[in-house]
A and B are shown apart, each in its own frame.
Chain A
Amino acid sequence: MDIEAAKMIGAGLAVIGLGGVGAGIGHIFASLISSISRNPASRPQVFPMSMLGFALVEAVALYALLISFLILFL
């Protein structure tokens, strides 16, 4: 197979993992909304943890993107 075609296919396969990341971010914010609506006073404690969780999940998205770019361009 042509190496350029293989790179394109590999880059496309690498970003399939982003589907899981979308589900993960939605899960974090769903639990944030439901926990704040159950107990609005817990907001100052829960919100920073949710921001940390969101950034950690988004990092996985960027790892997948990084690997895709590495396959495509290196």
Chain B
Amino acid sequence: MYFNDSAMDINRNNYETFFLLYLDRELGPADMQAVEKFLFENTDLQKEFALLQQTIFLPAEMVFEPKELLLHKEEKRRVVPIYWIRIAASILVMITAGWFILAEVSKNHKGEMARNNQAPVANVSSKKDPVNTVGKRVKTNTDQANLTREKGLTENKNSGEIPNQYKALNQTGDADPGMKNQNDIKEKNNLKQQNPRANSIPDESQLAIQKSNNSLEIQRGEIRTGSDPKQITALAGTQAPALVLTTTISNDQLKYEKADLKEQDFQTENAISIVALNDRNKAITGFFKKLTKHAPDDEKNNARKVRVSVFQFSY
């Protein structure tokens, strides 16, 4: 942008302004040519133009020596080459971390599922259908954790001896090879709760063991046998006083009491015993055990059946 007074031409009245604008290089090419032409035509003004020209200061070379102090030095970024081995290692680390995370999430999910499905699952046979419970597969709330074991127990009432299969189960806990393949067979030792009338269980009685879920943990312990329930003060694996729920013959109503393990009405016919084995983690783990009536169609053998189902209550 040129600063000029192009609206008017240079003349002897305004030449000083044109001279100054010319010296300050604020005129356009046309105005500059007009000034030069004016000077050529008015030689008497050339001296005055020269004086004004001498008022222009010539730039002097000056150096600001501490210039380095003003400079800001940037840290050079270090370029790290990415090699294939580093990429592979990174991928491996991510995959490993992802695998662990998935495993942990899956584990937690299973735990939640187990707690959610820990409703009482004991499918205790009722009086009305004592026969159908014999050898019947007991269904659980969780399919994957369902371990139903039906094992026929035949016992000679007269002999009063526990069948060999039952003995093996009681003594080793590994009598059934099929159970070895199950992950949750810990409870089977504890299922061998003393039953004073076990010796009188007739042949073909069956023991059904149901595990509610994987999280059910019943510690292995000493198998307690005997005829006197008072001798049983605690079940193996229990860490707190057991909760004993029993039924009475008269009204079939459950009652409970907190005490060391007792099974007062255990021997009664058609009684349902609920024995807590563990109350860790806000849950009561135990099993139902029922001794059925005589099978009506098996009068001659006086067959009776015991059914045991494991449960876990959350509270």
Q: Are A and B subunits of one complex?
A: no
A interface residues (Cβ-Cβ under 8 A, vs B): none
